[in-house]
A and B are shown apart, each in its own frame.
Chain A
Amino acid sequence: SAVISQKPSRDICQRGTSLTIQCQVDSQVTMMFWYRQQPGQSLTLIATANQGSEATYESGFVIDKFPISRPNLTFSTLTVSNMSPEDSSIYLCSVIGLGGTEAFFGQGTRLTVV
């Protein structure tokens, strides 16, 4: 199974600022995704992080608000830009390993915007 290190684990940020979340995997993976989970809710896909090219965003999420990078097969970042209190949520990185279908999750980043 893939070991995922996601950081920060939590942060409290001022509105209007940006936060970058990092996701590092201990082995090469085929796919990396970013999800958002609001309190008591399910996981909503933000985007698929594509290596070396622009991420693929789901409806309702745009690159200007959630820029994503994936420079190689083991690392990705998600930035939450120009934050507002509505962005307060848990953000989770998820990966699928080479040759597998099981999705593993990072421990999540609990973001509070004040």
Chain B
Amino acid sequence: GENVEQHPSTLSVQEGDSAVIKCTYSDSASNYFPWYKQELGKRPQLIIDIRSNVGEKKDQRIAVTLNKTAKHFSLHITETQPEDSAVYFCAGDSGNTPLVFGKGTRLSVIA
């Protein structure tokens, strides 16, 4: 089955700097890669996703890149703000299967 590895487990950045979180996956059949943000005590919320036929996707300050050959994808957050502080999870899905999540990255944006 799918295995998703996520790094780093914790990340601290100064407000205004960029943050990058990386994930690798094992199942070459996986074709959907969402990113979730989970604030303390709240449910995970989808912030961006990418499919295997696309190499990059951007939504305002958030972007995701995908390298199918290397089986890794990354989340990029630019101009970070304190409200970006949360736990971020990557996930992989090979279609009609449950999402397999990475272990999460705790991002702290220091004002």
Contact = CB atoms under 8 A, between A and B. Distances in A.
Given A42-B104, A43-B89, A107 B43 contact: yes
B49 A102 contact: yes
B12 to A, nearest CB: 17
B59 to A, nearest CB: 14
B93 A43 contact: no
Contacts of A105: 43-45
Interface residues of B, number: 19
Contacts of B11: none
> By DSSP majority rule, is chain A's interface helix, strand, loop, or mixed?
strand
Contact of B43 (A33, A45, A106): A106
Nearest to A48: B98
A73 interface: no
A21 interface: no
A41 interface: yes
Given A42-B103, A43-B44, A103 B96 contact: no
B61 interface: no
Q: How large is the interface on A (under 10, 10 to 19, 20 to 34, 35 or more residues)?
A: 10 to 19
Interface string A80-112: 000000000000101000000111111110000
A31 interface: yes
A58 to B, nearest CB: 8
A108 B96 contact: no
Nearest to B45: A105
A27 B11 CA distance: 38
Contact of A43 (B34, B42, B101): B101
Nearest to B93: A101
Contacts of A101: 32, 49, 93, 95
B63 interface: no
Contacts of B34: 102-103
Interface in A48-70: 48
- Pairs A-B, 6 closest by C-beta atoms: A105-B43, A42-B103, A43-B101, A42-B101, A42-B104, A45-B98
